[in-house]
């Protein structure tokens, strides 16, 4: 007999069917017991009347995996309008051990450390499971948007000879007896691949030895990286970023307000607006604090009906060496942050594309070109004006669902104190 899913039961009223899944909940009444079975499609109600089967169910705790053969019966008062009656139960495992929380309750009432320690079980709870499904949907939306725009997916090295963005926060490893590092981003590789494919993206892990213990930092996260050539400036990149986040939101089926053109404000103006509104003197500040990003998020929603806002032109001093300066205002850059509901979601911008500009930028920072030899080769051999951005998947899902901590929108999160499960 072929197993059907809980969502297919309604198609088989009056027939004998086989379902299988986890015992989500048991409820014993006087003359009957209810078994709620959970499979990947949802829940099914099974009515157990026969005394021997009731005895059997009594010793099968929640989460035990069972196969059930029974007859589908229409019952308007059952969830979904159908239930399975006269069941034969066949356990597929031993009786399940008890977890420190009940998965059938609407909320997972356990501390975050307990939830994370018991992740293989806790993730079965609808709230956490849903974050995993939304992540997959968001990535699918990311891909399909970019596939439609002529981008090619790439996979690049995660073990690198030198730190990408800066020397800090990098994990060191022993690579066949020589030191190497885990890539903090695919930045250099996606740029080099613009020289090959013009438009590329990568979905992959990045690694940050983050000393921060916050609700928005992880030691490993999934970075959604985009890079494209033949742009005029960062506004071409921002237009792609807008389409990408719109595609991601749409793929999840959840709501977020994204106008056809996401509002943007130059860093210099943002600092003035925020400073005036909050009564702070921010002149000379090279960056925005989280409170400032929150204010800008509120402003974008209030003034432009948008959950997203770009801040452009961040000061060069706070941006990496490959950042393209703003023509005519060289202290600022052709870069941007994308703020989603008051929190930084993505960073991007136009990059330098001339070899001589790289040599000058590195010299100005007191760095030699030798350390970047193979990266700089791409530029020596001809690279178009280009730019890109990166979105943190876990942050995106957290922001979209209102989760306070990215650890609940990540499967098996890694942080300073956690490397298991």
How far is it, in rounded angstroms, from Cα 86 to Cα 73?
10
Nearer to a second copy, 294 or 418 (CB): 418
Closest CA to 37 of 53, 18, 20: 20
By CB under 8 A, name the one of 84, 139, 251, 256 that touches a second copy: 139
Q: Quote the tokens at residue 244.
A: 């990408």
How far is it, in rounded angstroms, from Cα 393 to Cα 237?
19
Residue with tokens 């992740």: 119
Q: How many residues bind a second copy (CB under 8 A)?
A: 92
Nearer to a second copy, 53 or 137 (CB): 137
Q: Quote the tokens at residue 115.
A: 């939830």
Residue 3 β-bridge partners: 18
Nearer to a second copy, 304 or 418 (CB): 418
Residue 410's Cβ-side half-sphere holds a number of Cα atoms within 13 Å equal to 27
Nearer to a second copy, 335 or 410 (CB): 410
Q: How far is the CB of 332 from a second copy (least distance, A)?
A: 23
Helix 267-278 vs helix 290-304: angle between axes, to the nearest 10 degrees? 100
- Region from 78-86, 147-155, 261-269, 273-281 binding a second copy, contact rule CB under 8 A: 147-155
By CB under 8 A, name the one of 11, 32, 74, 92 that touches a second copy: 92
Q: Is 64 in the site for a second copy (CB under 8 A)?
A: yes
Q: Is 156 in the site for a second copy (CB under 8 A)?
A: yes
Q: Is 9 exposed, middle or buried (0-12, 13-18, 19+ CB in 10 A)?
A: buried
| Per-residue contact string for residues 212-241; x = within reach of a second copy by CB under 8 A | -------xx-x-------x-----------
By CB under 8 A, name the one of 89, 271, 378, 391 that touches a second copy: 378
> What are residue 276's phi and psi, to 5 degrees?
-65, -40
- Region from 81-89, 107-115, 258-266, 383-391 binding a second copy, contact rule CB under 8 A: 383-391
> What are residue 34's phi and psi, to 5 degrees?
-110, 135
How far is it, in rounded angstroms, from Cα 250 to Cα 45?
32
Q: How far is the CB of 26 from a second copy (least distance, A)?
A: 13
> What are residue 250's phi and psi, to 5 degrees?
-60, -40
Q: Quote the tokens at residue 108.
A: 């997972």
How far is it, in rounded angstroms, from Cα 307 to Cα 294?
11
Nearer to a second copy, 301 or 355 (CB): 355
Q: Is 271 in the site for a second copy (CB under 8 A)?
A: no
Give the count of beta carbons closer than 10 Å to the beta carbon of residue 128: 19
Q: Is 117 in the site for a second copy (CB under 8 A)?
A: yes
Cβ-contact 19, 2 below 8 angstroms: no
Q: Is 102 in the site for a second copy (CB under 8 A)?
A: no
Nearer to a second copy, 13 or 209 (CB): 209
- Region from 46-54, 136-144, 295-303, 335-343 binding a second copy, contact rule CB under 8 A: 136-144
Closest CA to 224 of 142, 344, 150: 142
Nearer to a second copy, 104 or 118 (CB): 118
Q: Is 173 in the site for a second copy (CB under 8 A)?
A: yes
Q: Is 22 in the site for a second copy (CB under 8 A)?
A: yes
By CB under 8 A, name the one of 11, 32, 74, 159 that touches a second copy: 159
Q: How far is the CB of 136 from a second copy (least distance, A)?
A: 4
| Per-residue contact string for residues 338-377; x = within reach of a second copy by CB under 8 A | ---------------xxxx-----------------xx-x
Q: How far is the CB of 291 from a second copy (least distance, A)?
A: 29
Contacts (CB under 8 A) with a second copy, residues 34-63:
39-40, 63
Q: Is 168 in the site for a second copy (CB under 8 A)?
A: no
Q: Which residues contact 251 (CB under 8 A, 6 or more apart)?
A: 137, 138, 140, 141, 142, 144
By CB under 8 A, name the one of 155, 214, 290, 367 that touches a second copy: 155
Closest CA to 183 of 166, 201, 200: 166
CA torsion through residues 114, 115, 121, 126, sign? positive
Q: Quote the tokens at residue 185.
A: 């981003």
Q: Is 145 in the site for a second copy (CB under 8 A)?
A: no
For residue 406, the 8-state DSSP code is G
- Region from 96-104, 247-255, 277-285, 297-305 binding a second copy, contact rule CB under 8 A: 96-104
Nearer to a second copy, 238 or 271 (CB): 238
């Amino acid at each position: 007999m072929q197993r059907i899913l809980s969502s297919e039961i309604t198609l088989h009223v009056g027939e004998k069917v086989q379902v299988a899944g986890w015992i989500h909940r048991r409820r014993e009444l006087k003359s009957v017991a209810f078994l709620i079975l959970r499979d990947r499609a949802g829940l099914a109600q099974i009515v157990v009347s026969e005394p021997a089967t009731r005895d059997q169910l009594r010793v099968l705790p929640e989460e035990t995996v069972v196969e059930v053969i029974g007859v589908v019966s229409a019952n308007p008062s059952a969830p979904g309008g159908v239930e399975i009656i006269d069941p034969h139960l066949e356990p597929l495992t031993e009786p399940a051990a008890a977890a420190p929380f009940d998965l059938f309750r609407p909320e997972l009432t356990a501390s975050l450390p307990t939830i994370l320690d018991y992740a293989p079980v806790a993730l079965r709870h609808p709230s956490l499971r849903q974050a995993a499904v939304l992540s997959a949907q968001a990535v699918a939306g990311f891909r399909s948007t970019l596939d439609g725009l002529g981008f090619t997916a790439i996979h690049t090295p995660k073990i690198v000879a030198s730190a990408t963005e800066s020397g800090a926060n990098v994990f060191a490893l022993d690579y066949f007896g020589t030191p190497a590092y885990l890539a903090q981003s695919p930045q250099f590789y996606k740029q080099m691949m613009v020289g090959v494919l013009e438009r590329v993206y990568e979905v992959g892990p990045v690694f940050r030895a983050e000393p921060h213990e916050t609700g928005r930092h992880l030691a490993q996260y999934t970075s959604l990286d985009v890079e494209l050539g033949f742009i005029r400036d960062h506004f071409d990149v921002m237009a792609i970023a807008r389409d990408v986040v719109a595609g991601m939101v749409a793929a999840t089926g959840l709501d977020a307000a994204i106008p056809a053109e996401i509002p943007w404000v130059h860093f210099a103006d943002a600092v003035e607006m925020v400073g005036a509104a909050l009564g702070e003197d921010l002149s000379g500040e090279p960056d925005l604090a989280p409170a400032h990003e929150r204010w800008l998020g509120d402003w974008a929603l209030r003034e432009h009906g948008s959950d997203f806002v770009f801040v452009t032109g961040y000061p060069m001093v706070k941006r990496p060496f490959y950042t393209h300066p703003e023509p005519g205002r060289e202290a600022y850059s052709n870069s941007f942050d994308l703020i989603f509901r008051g929190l930084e979601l993505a960073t991007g911008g136009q990059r330098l594309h001339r070899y001589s500009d790289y040599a000058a930028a590195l010299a100005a920072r007191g760095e030699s070109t030798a350390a970047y030899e193979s990266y700089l080769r791409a530029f020596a051999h001809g690279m178009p004006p280009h730019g890109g951005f990166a979105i943190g998947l876990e942050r995106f899902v957290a922001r979209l669902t209102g989760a306070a901590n990215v650890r609940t929108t990540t499967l098996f999160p890694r942080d300073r104190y956690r490397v298991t499960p």
